[in-house]
Amino acid sequence: MLNDPAASIIRKKSWDDYVLLVLRSPRIARRARPGQFLMVRVSDRPYPLLRRPLSIHARERDTIEIFFTRAGLGTDILAEKKTGDTLDIIGPLGKGFSISRGLHGKTVGLVGGGRGIAPLYFLAKELRAKCVRPRVFYGGKTENDVPLLQKFARLKIGVFVSTDDGSAGFSGFVSAMLEKELDRAAPPAQIYACGPDPMMRRVAEAAAARRIPAQLSLEAVMGCGIGACWGCVKKIRRGETAEWVKICEEGPVFEASEIIWEEK
């Protein structure tokens, strides 16, 4: 884990409430793995005090990218940053997605809902570099909620898009689109997903019903991101028992079979 107190913003792109920032931070970039995250200080002022967790969306040799949506005060402040500003970041944090050797040459499914698409771009690139074939299932509420569609398309991988209101692609939830595709084509060797809990629960159920292993990136409200505050604990299945686990340290990525979903 490293602290870069002055990661400079070298590029910014925004679409309505979604923002992409490219940060120059060579040391963090070199250590980053897909599914890991940063804790970002959004302001030099005392409030908001707590850093905000954001996934590492992409990395090149000296740069990392974050992609986020405005969700409240912290991300609103972050969205107003300009090229040339600097951010105080800690990272890379947490345990990310694992890519087993057995996936070489196989097809895997990446399922992202809304802002949950953020870590899947880095993962898609890493999979391709390891000769694994990713297919991306990208869902949003409307066509304005799938701004990274073109970016994924440029990777020249299969991208399926869904919107809840039918304004682009498949009309309905991304989990429904995934299930339709699972019933139509040969099943992927592995599923990776990130998004809101109800979406991930449906993805986990669809994967389990077809005996496809799935790794899910969970969200939790995080006070510190480094295992110190116990603010992020969730119950996780460990063998026959359940344990309270810090999502920031032992996650955010877990096997779907380990996750204990809250009652519906």
Ligand X SMILES: Cc1cc2nc3c(=O)[nH]c(=O)nc-3n(C[C@H](O)[C@H](O)[C@H](O)COP(=O)(O)OP(=O)(O)OC[C@H]3O[C@@H](n4cnc5c(N)ncnc54)[C@H](O)[C@@H]3O)c2cc1C
Contacts with ligand X by CB under 6 A lie at 37, 48, 52-55, 67-69, 71-75, 115, 118, 219-222, 252
**Residue 149 or 218 having the CB closest to ligand FES:** 218
SS3 breakdown of the chain: % helix, strand, coil, rounded to 5?
A: 25, 35, 35
Angle between the N-to-C axes of helices 197-209 and 174-184, in degrees from 0 to 180, rounded to the nearest 10: 10
Q: What string marks each residue from 20 to 59 as x (binds ligand FES by CB under 6 A) or -?
A: ----------------------------------------
Interacting partner of 71 out of ligand FES, ligand X, none (Cβ under 5 to 8 A depending on kind): ligand X
Of how many residues is the chain composed?
264
Closest approach of ligand X to the CB of residue 73, in Å: 5
Determine phi and psi for 75, rounding to 5 degrees.
-75, -25
Q: Can you tell me whether residue 123 is helix, strand or coil?
A: helix
Q: What string marks each residue from 204 to 243 as x (binds ligand FES by CB under 6 A) or -?
A: ------------------xxxx-xxxxxx-----------
Helix (DSSP H) and strand (DSSP E) numbers for the chain: 7, 16
**Residue 99 or 222 having the CB closest to ligand FES:** 222
Closest approach of ligand X to the CB of residue 119, in Å: 6
Interacting partner of 135 out of ligand X, ligand FES, none (Cβ under 5 to 8 A depending on kind): none
**Residue 161 or 222 having the CB closest to ligand FES:** 222
Instruction: Please give the angle made by the CA atoms of 220, 150 and 113, to the nearest 5 degrees.
Output: 25
* CB burial string 174-208: b at 16+ within 10 A, e below: bbbbbbebbeeeeebbbbbbbbeeebbbbbbebbe
